[in-house]
Amino acid sequence: MDWLIIALLIVVAFGGVAYVLPSKFQREVGKLRLEARQFGFSTSLMNVANLNAEAADRVTAGGKVRFRDNFCAVYHKRYAKKVPHAPLWRLDRYDKGKFPVPAWTLHGDALEGVDLSNAPYWKDVQGLLATMPRTCRAVECNADGISWIGIEAREVVLAGDFLKNLANALDSLAELNVNLSGTDEDLKSDP
């Protein structure tokens, strides 16, 4: 009987330790975030509203509004040099959105440095958004750089070229913003 109690205590002790250890997927996410620094990204976390949530997920049976947020990772890449008059906007994924880019919508009223009527710019933005994984929930351009905001799903984390492709897409968007702002500065980023 003593051996049974000792074995049970050992199982409980190791079970508790195993419970708090990160899973293989969590270790891969950590590795991806560390590797992101080599591509010039800073990372953080934020909640983003899920605009594509079903109607039943937005309201309880009692009629109370539910907020459906996604806990997302933010991969932010700074401009290599200061970009005066850089466009400021954020697009959130919204499958029913049509303007300025299909399947996306502007977040709030924050839009500066580019007109909605600038069809060539938004067409280029649409092409760059199409290269990003489906787990992307938002893309934001601000005064110091560009951010990819999305869910680090298994297929994203385990894709070996995710960071390289993301860096290329954000660099292309940065170049587009530099050209739009009227500067001739070279925006090639250091890998």
| pLDDT for the residue numbered 18 | 66
What is d(CA 37, CA 30) in angstroms, rounded to the nearest whole number?
A: 12
The predicted model scores a pTM of 0.81
Identify the weakest region by mean pLDDT among 8-17, 115-124, 127-136: 8-17
Neighbouring CB atoms inside 10 A of 97's CB total: 17
The tens digit of pLDDT for each residue in 95-113 reads 998 889 999 999 987 788 8
User: Taking a C-beta distance cutoff of 8 angstroms, is the pair 128, 169 a contact?
Assistant: yes
